[in-house]
Amino acid sequence: MNMPATKTEPVTMLPATVAPVVAMTPKRPPRADKYIKMVRETAVRGVPPLIVLALLMLFWELVCRRAGSTLPPPSRVYKDTKELIFDPFFDRGGIDKGLFWHLSASLQRVALGYSLAAVAGIALGTLVGQSVWAMRGLDPIFQVLRTIPPLAWLPLSLAAFRDGQPSAIFVIFITSIWPIIINTAVGIRNIPQDYRNVAAVVQLNPLEFFWKIMIPAAAPYIFTGLRIGIGLSWLAIVAAEMLIGGVGIGFFIWDAWNSSHISEIILALFYVGIIGFVLDRVIAGLAKVVTRGTALN
Amino acid sequence: MQAYLKLDHIDKTFSRGNASTEVLKDINLTIEKGEYVSIIGHSGCGKSTLLNIVAGLTPTTMGCVLLENREVNSPGPDRAVVFQNHSLLPWLTVYENVRLGVDKVFASSKTRGERDAWTMHNLNLVQMAHAKDKRPAEISGGMKQRVGIARALAMEPKVLLLDEPFGALDALTRAHLQDSVMALHQKLGNTILMITHDVDEAVLLSDRIVMMTNGPSARIGEVLDVPLARPRKRLELSTNAAYLKCRLRVLEFLYERHRFVEAA
């Protein structure tokens, strides 16, 4: 993209002759073409979802507009929640806060629980993938524990921690750790023997082997686990917060339901969806950067 | 002359449950310093197993490997391996792949700058310095194998082990790489043990050719001296009587006396 610009610069500094005109004219069209192409590509990707979204909104509006409908149409949702949309930062104490504060409280819990799960999950996954004994011992236990629904852990963790905050974090942790463990273990088990031979000949010690061979070689698998994990933890946080109360998007939804503010629920769901999507994209983007080398092969 | 590398009565049996297969039987071989020895045999005769035993990647059932009169039974940089399928780490650049070994082997004996210079020196030896920042997926098969050779050379091994290093390459690239290896051997005087199934390659490169009988229980059938002066020129050799005689001896061994039985 920079090519035409750098090439024309010295030319324009020369006294006006026929040459610059000749040199510049043929360079223009490709650049314009490029922009047209970019716009066209964006349109090709962006227009269909916009049209479908507009049609869905229209359908929703028509269905819910009738008198006696139980759910508000989009126009009502917008009218009811205008204040929440345009002022997400207000804080009137207690749980009467803007949506930003609720979402950031939820995100903080997820960040903490998920980080712990990522570290512990990769460590346990490595152990299970590397040691046959550990796999035989731990794998059956993991297979049973991972089927327990996230919320079933909540009463137990409340009993153990006697506080909502650590309990919610624990639920996130225990929900997102299983896919991380299992995928890491598969990744470690699939490290080609060749790489192990290389490490043996070079005489890497176990710690170097972990950082220089295992983690990069298993990275694509590990990131698959991390991506499933972040999705699950965002699923779990909303449910957990409904039960533990306090500040958080989950409790915001529950509170709105109790006060019959259906429009607020719809707005909150919209935000939950968008943030879940962004979290997934962030991990996917991170995976792309980190596994650049491995993915090529 | 004292034996530099000695394979002493090596037996190897693989067992799985109750079934056991004897792969190698009573392998004895001594290799002198600076010698280029090839091991040739039909596929499945256990030649790769033998190389892995020397590398320390596979334990022996009986017997031992002696390097400078000391037993070696675990892998180490003194017996660097050039693997058949290059085995470069795909997430590292060409430079980093070579540097990985250099950093470990010379951790205490060379400074950071010296290690960098040594890495570049070895990449230069195989004419790969120009691609030092490329990743393995971005270079050709022959280039990957060159980097594999540089990685092994950079560890300053006492014995260089080549496991069918040119097997996966096309004929032209193979010839080119064989010439490179010959030139390196000439220049650096390495002791080399190479596995191959290519008769011409064995005769062209080796001082001695070790011919293995068919497995199971493969033994060394015959050892042939290749009395050709170095440096050797591929084109001149194609009409050289001694070369043709050696080639014939190996062919006779492989295709007449120990023909590959297509039982498996």
A129 vs A20, higher pLDDT: A129
d(C-alpha B37, C-alpha B47), whole Å? 13
DSSP states along chain A: --HHHHHHHHHHHS-S-HHHHHHHGGGHHHHHHHHHHHHHHHHHHHHHHHHHHHHHHHHHHHHHHSTT-SS--HHHHHHHHHHHHH-TT-B-STT-B-HHHHHHHHHHHHHHHHHHHHHHHHHHHHHHHH-HHHHHHHHHHHHHHTTS-GGGHHHHHHHHH-SHHHHHHHHHHHHHHHHHHHHHHHHHHTS-HHHHHHHHHHT--HHHHIIIIIHHHHHHHHHHHHHHHHHHHHHHHHHHHHHH-SSSHHHHHHHHHHTT-HHHHHHHHHHHHHHHHHHHHHHHHHHHHHTHHHHH-
- pLDDT of A172 reads 94
Residue A13 reports pLDDT greater than 70: no
Asked if B128 is an interface residue toward chain A (Cβ–Cβ < 8 A), one would say: no
How far does B91 lie from chain A, in Å, by closest CA?
4
The pLDDT confidence band at residue A3, using thresholds 50, 70 and 90, is very low
**Which residues in chain A are closer than 8 Å to B76, comparing Cβ atoms?**
201, 203
Please give the pLDDT value at position B17.
80
User: How distant is the Cα of B36 from the closest Cα of chain A, in angstroms?
Assistant: 21
CA distances to A123, A199, A259 from A129, in Å: 10, 17, 50
Task: Report the SS3 class of residue B149.
Answer: helix
Tens-digit pLDDT profile for residues A112-139: 999 999 999 999 999 999 999 999 999 9
Quote the minimal CA–CA distance from B214 to chain A in Å: 26
A57 — phi, psi (to 5°)?
A: -60, -40
Taking CB atoms and an 8 Å limit, are B76 and A201 in contact across chains? Answer: yes
Q: What pLDDT is recorded for position B216? A: 80
Q: Tokens 């991506």 identify what position? A: A227
pLDDT of the residue at A21: 47
> The whole model's pTM is what?
0.79
At residue A12, the pLDDT reads 43
Q: What is the pLDDT of residue A14?
A: 44
pLDDT category, A27, cuts 50, 70, 90? low
CB-based burial label for A230 (10 Å; 0-12, 13-18, 19+): buried
Q: How far apart are CA A258 and CA A38, in angstroms?
A: 48
Stretches in chain B below the pLDDT threshold 50? 263-264
Instruction: State percent of chain A over pLDDT 70.
Output: 88
Distance of alpha carbon A158 from alpha carbon A161, whole angstroms: 5
The complex scores an ipTM of 0.86
How far, in Å, are A102, B211, B229, B240 from residue B225 at the CA level?
82, 11, 12, 16
- The per-residue pLDDT for range A157-184, each reduced to its tens digit, is 999 999 989 999 999 999 999 999 999 9
Please tell me if residue B137 touches chain A, with a CB cutoff of 8 Å: yes
Average pLDDT in the A47-58 region? 93
Residue range A200-208: mean pLDDT, rounded: 91
Residue B76 sits at the chain A interface (C-beta within 8 Å): yes
pLDDT computed for residue A141 by the predictor: 94
Chain B residues with CB under 8 Å of A192 CB are 87
Whether residue A214 is predicted with pLDDT greater than 60 in this model: the reply is yes
pLDDT exceeds 90 at position A246: no
Residue type, A233: S
If you measure CA to CA, which chain A residue comes closest to B57?
Answer: A197
pLDDT attached to residue B260: 67
Q: How far is B75 from chain A (nearest CA, A)?
A: 5
Q: Whole-number mean pLDDT of chain A? A: 86
B216 touches A at CB < 8 Å: no
Which of A202, A208, A214, A294 would you mutate first to test chain B, the one with the most B CBs within 10 A? A202
DSSP state of B227: -
Contact A201 B91 (CB under 8 A): no
Q: How confident is residue A90, by pLDDT bands cut at 50, 70 and 90? A: confident
pLDDT at site A95:
78
CA distance from start to end of chain B = 42
Asked whether the beta carbons of A182 and A120 are under 8 A apart, the reply is: no
Predicted confidence (pLDDT) at residue A140 exceeds the cutoff of 80: yes
What is the percentage of chain A residues whose pLDDT exceeds 90? 61
Give the pLDDT confidence of A267-284 residue by residue, as tens digits.
999 999 999 999 999 999
